[in-house]
Every structure is written in C-alpha cells, then in structure tokens.
Structure 1
Amino acid sequence: MTPIDRFSGHAGLYAQYRIDYPAELFDFVLSFVTDRQNAWDCATGNGQVAGALAEVFSHVDATDISEAQLAQAVQHPAIHYQLCTAEQTPFADHTFDLVTVAQALHWFDVEAFHREVRRVAKPGAVLAEWGYGLVALGEELDAVLVDFYRNRVGPYWDPQRAYIDNAYATLPFPFADRQQASFTIRRSWTLDRFLNYLRTWSAVRQYMHENEEDPVIHLGETLKPVWGAGEREVQFPVFLRLGRV
C-alpha cells in the first residue's frame, strides 16, 4: 500500500492554521501511562502532539511521510523527527511506553500499523488514536457549512474521510483495556482565521487543483453577514480510543 500524502503541498498553511488539542485530552491519555521514558508520535505533521509529549516524556520520536511537514515542526530538545511510514519504522522492538496518532489513522494501512505498534511498544504500553470531526459554528451557520462540506467540496474528499465521519467506529482496534472518550476543542476565531483553516482541508486543496478557483471565497461571503468583523466561538468534536499492547 503506497502511503498517501495530502498535506506536503500546503505544509506552511497547515502549520499556521490547524488546531491543537486540549490539555484534558493529554491528561486523560497520560492517566493510563505509568512509565514516561519513550513516546512515539506517528504522523506527527508539524509536531503539535510531539511538542506536548516532550513536556512529560524523556524522549519523543516523531515520524511523518512528509519532509515539508517535518520542516515546519516545532523544535524541542526531547524530540527526534524522522521520515518514515506508519507501517514500517526503524525502531527497536519494545521501545515505547506510549504511541499516539492524531487525525491520521484513516490514511494508514491500519492492520499493518497495529502490527508495527505491537512490535515497537513495550508490553503494557498504551496506544492512543484520536481525530476530530466537522467543526460546529452555531445554529445560524451550521447548515451553510454542512452544505459546503457535503456538496461543494464533498466530491473531492478521499474515501478515507468516511472514517472520520463515523469516529473510527469501523476501523479495527484489537487492544486490551479499551477506553473511549470525547472532548470539545473551543476556539474564538475571526472569519479570516476560520477560512484559512478550511484551506487546509484536503478536499479544498483538491477542489482548487481541479477547478483553479478557491471555493472558500464564496463561502466566506455567505458567512460574513452573520459572523461579522469580530471573533466567534468554533467547536471541534474530538473522539479518542485507547488501549494496552
């Protein structure tokens, strides 16, 4: 299976406008982790999760298939970045106390990734996989965004997007002591900030590539009368599953 890279072409935009994750999520994951020597953040992107893990682990290995993304990654003396796939890594057997993958599992050969996790994780180590669904803007604007998501750029999503829509419910997770949790990311954004976030969507990038126009411009014009010039709260629903190797 050839790795899919949908983000190298706009790595700078991704680093600037993608969301980070709430402290409550990390607190929940870490409550299951006894030893905090070595962590692996798989598909690290620009290192958002790796940076958080580096504050509590002695060493963090962070991997991605995108050189462009890694070039934008947050720097920390405890983090070692390297280029490799999720399914085949250079790590020694039984290395990690925690393995994380955020908003990326749906791009993997999941069964092959899980085999690799079993190889490189210590017995009893924790695997945490999470993602986030469609942002909520409030009842005045949600219908407009859903129409954009499903109809305007809907045909440009990869099939794997369906796994996000069903919160990974149909992806295998053969690990012990399974836990599930949900969180909400709340941010106050201007309309311009929100529109630039939308431009990080893989479907929007594909739409722009095929049609040579930016669909976000028209959406912004539709949203502006309600959004106004100030900030508005946006909410991202986060789903997480966790288990022991």
Structure 2
Amino acid sequence: MKDNFSGHSKDYAQYRPKYPPEIYNWLKQNLNGFETAWDCGTGNGQVAAELAEFFERVEATDISSNQIKQAIKKSNINYSVQPAEQTNFKNHQFDLIICAQAVHWFNFDKFYSEVKRCLKPDGLIVIMGYGLFRSVSEVNQIIQEFYDGIIGSYWDEERKYLDEEYKTIPFPFQSIKTPGFVRAYEWDIDHFLGYLRTWSAVKHYERQHGEDPVALVEDQLRKAFGDKNEINFPILFKVGKLEEADQ
C-alpha cells in the first residue's frame, strides 16, 4: 500500500470531507452486531470516531504513523500501524470491516483474504469513498481542466478506481443493495483551496516542480467560487457479506 498522506496529515484532518450521518444510520439498521469494528486505512480517524459511538470497540489501522498521531482519540478506539493486507487480528473477530477512501491503494487479493479471515460469518464489509465534487458550473469547468490537464499526469494509477466510482474494483462478496448518498457542504474559498491542496496529485506535482499547482488556478477559482459556495460530494458505497463458502 502506498503512503501518500503522512507528509500533510494535519491538512488532511482539517480539510477532507466527512461522510453523511445517513450512512451510519443505515449501518445501525443493517448490522447484526455491535461488538467490534475494524476501520481499515483509518487516516485521521473520522470514521473510527463515528463508529465508536455505537460499537463497543473499534480497531483502527493505517500504515501512516503520522496520520494516527493526528487521529481523533476515544477510549474505545485502538489505533495501530498495520498494513491492510496482514494484521494481527483474530479470525472472525469483526461485526463490521469498513474501508473509507483507501481500498484503491491496497493489494485487493491480499486485503480481501484478510477480510474473509477476520469478518464474522454474519458481519458486513463496507467499501466507501467519495468521487470528484460538483459545485457551480464555472467552478466545475475550471476544476475539470485542472484535474485532467495541469495535474492529470500526476495522479497515481490507482486513482482510476475512484474515477470509475469503485464499479471496477473486485468485490468477492455477496453484494447488498444500498441507497445513494451525497454529502453537501457550504465552504468558504480558503477551505475549498485547502482541500484541493490535500490531493495526492497536487503533492506529486509540488515535489517534481517545486511549486503549488493550485496557485495556477487560484485567481480563477476565487472569482468563480466567490467567498462561499456549495460543494457536493457523491458518496461511493459498496456493502457485502461473506459468500457461504467463505463463512
């Protein structure tokens, strides 16, 4: 698994969007138990913190110790630095295994083998993330040109799975039908620009060129976006359970 985020973990925690409360309500209604959950690729711990509100214990893992140092602390969350593909967890330990905005970085076969080993027979595996946001049309146009043009060649190959809305990732589980979710925000322009600067392709561009690519479109964006504007993130949400042969 690649670690693209250790170097700016504070910005990641400050600017990245959160998932809508409706997702956690859906989980509460569809889970079969609330003893233990595993938040895999926890990052700043935002998902782990939400799960801790209704699980007895949450295990939260990441390969970035810097991310974990910045993560939200709660008494029933245990953070550990572990790769998704090989953990020290027990067999059939978890009622829920959830991975938010991270599965595209993993070795799919090895991660899913670990999921099948660690998930309870009646547990759920959840893969979620968010795609490219939408705002007003002029902002969308500037961002699309920035995304595809200025930083287009700096995206990691794995980014394609998000662009394809996780529809093309392997998912060797019994799929469960889920509703669609969107997370809407009203952000000020500085928060919006701060979010753009957390993108991994932006960081790759900076390292290669020694300059911030967001600055190349900042004036355009400030004019098009205004002081405040609405941002909508489409939520990617895949849920499954073990196939009978894997139970």
What's the TM-score bracket when you normalise by the shorter of the two chains?
A: over 0.9
User: For residue 241 of structure 2, what is the aligned residue in structure 1?
Assistant: 244
User: For residue 79 of structure 2, what is the aligned residue in structure 1?
Assistant: 81
Residue 41 of structure 1 aligns to a residue whose secondary structure is strand
Residue 157 of structure 2 aligns to a residue whose secondary structure is coil
1:34-113 superposed matches below 5 A? 34-113=32-111
- Give the CA deviation at 1:177: 4.2
* Whole-angstrom CA distance in 1 between matches of 2:117 and 2:236: 25
Which of the numbers 168, 187, 202 marks the counterpart of 2:166? 168
String of CA shifts for 1:132-165, please: whole Å, max 9, x gaps: 1111111122111100001011100000000000
User: For residue 122 of structure 1, what is the aligned residue in structure 2?
Assistant: 120
Residues 32, 122 of structure 2: 8 Å contact kept:
no
* Whole-angstrom CA distance in 2 between matches of 1:233 and 1:7: 26
Q: Which runs of 5+ in 1 are unaligned?
A: none
User: For residue 8 of structure 1, what is the aligned residue in structure 2?
Assistant: 6
* Whole-angstrom CA distance in 2 between matches of 1:204 and 1:177: 34
Residue 2 of structure 2 aligns to a residue whose secondary structure is coil
* Whole-angstrom CA distance in 1 between matches of 2:175 and 2:139: 39
String of CA shifts for 1:203-224, please: whole Å, max 9, x gaps: 0000011001111112110111
* Whole-angstrom CA distance in 1 between matches of 2:225 and 2:48: 34
Residues 181, 239 of structure 1: 8 Å contact kept:
no
RMSD: 1.0
Residues 206, 212 of structure 2: 8 Å contact kept:
yes
What amino acid is aligned across from residue 235 of structure 1 in structure 2? N
Residues 181, 241 of structure 1: 8 Å contact kept:
no
Which of the numbers 15, 18, 26 marks the counterpart of 1:17? 15
Percentage of identical aligned residues: 43
Which of the numbers 227, 232, 237 marks the counterpart of 1:235? 232
- Give the CA deviation at 1:113: 0.7
* Whole-angstrom CA distance in 2 between matches of 1:88 and 1:109: 11
- Give the CA deviation at 1:241: 0.5
Q: Which runs of 5+ in 2 are unaligned?
A: 243-247
**What TM-score does the superposition give when structure 2 sets the normalisation length?**
0.95
* Whole-angstrom CA distance in 2 between matches of 1:51 and 1:140: 36
Aligned length: 242
Which of the numbers 134, 138, 149 marks the counterpart of 1:140? 138
- Give the CA deviation at 1:88: 0.4
User: For residue 203 of structure 1, what is the aligned residue in structure 2?
Assistant: 201
